[in-house]
Amino acid sequence: MNQANSSKLTTKISEKGLRYDLTVPFARYVVQYQNDITFPFRRYQIQPVWRADRPQKGRYREFYQCDVDIIGSDSLLNEVELIRIVDQIYHNLGISVVIKINNRKILSGIAETIGEADRITDITVAIDKLDKIGLERVNEELLQKGVSGEAVLKLQPILQLNGTNEDKLNQIEQVISGSETGVKGIAEMRTIFNYLASMKLEIEVEMDLTLARGLNYYTGAIFEVKSKDVEIGSITGGGRYDDLTGIFGLSGVSGVGISFGADRIYDVMSQLDLFPKEAITSTQVMFVNFGEAEERYILPLLYRLRAAGISSEIYPDRDKMKKQMIYANKKGIKFVALAGESEIAGGMVNLKNMESGEQSLIKAEDLVSVVSRKLD
């Protein structure tokens, strides 16, 4: 097999059905171990998943997802818990985000109300593009997909919602009050917002009717998180699924889950330069390598530093000192320890602070205590 057709093979294989998400396999797992699991069952899972499409910006063939799910409970408290997790995680990462919430029942209610219940997919796919292509083209697309002009007209107030989350819910309610499902969806949203009102969130929560999220298996709340500073699409998404386990033979088990896209989050953080410097440079002390005898003198000192919890390394090659210093400098190592012939003779170590350039001759036995004091 040559290189040319190996890449074609890859495409073929990836189209044949690899693991596209962690939620469906999770449902299978739950069904398989239903007798061993205690419900409500919670778990998180971090694993690579694949996409068969051509890769492009922010869209990878293989990427890591971090899933959190709670299954076997239909309490809306679980939705609230997930929102809380999102809130804490992005706050801790220092990424400024907005979490958008919608509800599949409301979307169904809308389709029902305008008399196009069976066109829900076309309708939501079109609505989803609202902020991307604008109202006019969304309407065009709806008509083109075969949604009646009358229905499109009825849809207009919903497409132009504004105000607070509560305002939006009130406006939608007026339109879809005839739909039992829709009304239920609105009640769910209100419950969630009520819970959220009782806690202090760091991130912004926004009711967004244009949020559709594929919607194959979602039945209630749906979530999506977007970075406010980086244009990259959604970095986290999820929702409530009432019968995902049904396809594997276990019905009546509702769950809700959310999935963080690790690679996109990484992209956002690296574009915003949010990775702390300590995360990049870990070595605090580097020993210069002068030769074999010096290596033997240094090794016990190195291990003593490490035992004291100070990240240290010895430059592995006997390169010119200048090169070793350049290495330490580029890595942002704070201290360089020098022990050559003269230091060894006196049982000493020369400790150089790479930031100030200041250098002090200390007893080898004092190295650990001196370094830990200076690192404070």
Contacts to RNA by CB under 7 A: 4, 7, 11, 20-21, 23-24, 51-57, 59, 125, 129, 132, 213-216, 290, 320-323, 325-326, 328-330, 336, 338, 340-343, 350, 352, 354-357, 359
Task: Report the alpha-carbon distance of residue 192 to residue 205 in Å, rounded.
Answer: 11
In this structure, what is the dihedral angle of CA atoms 146, 149, 154, 158, given to the nearest 10 degrees?
A: 60
Select 25 or 40, whichever has its Cβ closest to RNA. 25
- Provide, rounded to whole angstroms, the least separation between the CB of residue 304 and RNA: 19
Residues 89, 95, 101, CA angle at the centre, nearest 5°? Answer: 70
Q: Which is nearer to RNA, 176 or 244 (CB)?
A: 244
Shortest CB 349 distance to RNA, Å? 9
Q: How far is the CB of 255 from RNA (least distance, A)?
A: 14
CA-CA distance, 138 to 130, in Å (whole number)? 6
Closest of 338, 354, 335 to residue 346, by C-alpha: 338
d(CA 215, CA 77): 22
Q: Minimal distance in Å, beta carbon 274 to RNA?
A: 20
In the complex with RNA, which residue's Cβ is closer, 24 or 274? 24
CB of 235 to RNA, least distance (A): 13
Q: Which is nearer to RNA, 158 or 286 (CB)?
A: 286
Please identify, using beta-carbon distances, which residue of 215 and 253 lies nearer to RNA. 215
Residue closer to RNA, measured from CB, 308 or 326: 326
Instruction: Give dist(CA 339, CA 311) in Å, integer.
Output: 18
- Identity of the residue, 41 or 290, whose beta carbon is nearer to RNA in the bound complex: 290
Q: What is the nearest approach in angstroms of RNA to the Cβ of residue 237?
A: 7
Please identify, using beta-carbon distances, which residue of 130 and 183 lies nearer to RNA: 130
| Amino acid found at 201 | L
Q: 144 vs 194, which CB is nearer to RNA?
A: 144
Q: Please give the DSSP secondary-structure letter assigned to residue 154.
A: H
Cβ neighbours, 10 Å, residue 166: 13
Shortest separation between residue 28's beta carbon and RNA, angstroms: 12
Distance CA 159, CA 231 (A): 23
H or E stretch covering 205: strand 204-207
Length of the chain: 376
Q: CA 372, CA 178: separation in Å to the nearest integer?
A: 70
User: What is the smallest separation between the CB atom of 311 and RNA, expressed in angstroms?
Assistant: 17
How does DSSP classify residue 234? Answer: E
| In the chain, alpha helices (H) | 3-15, 23-32, 77-93, 104-113, 120-128, 130-133, 135-144, 149-159, 165-176, 180-197, 262-271, 277-280, 292-307, 321-331, 341-346, 367-375
Return the SS3 of 84: helix
Q: CB 219 → RNA: shortest distance, Å?
A: 14
Q: Give me the amino acid identity at 181.
A: T
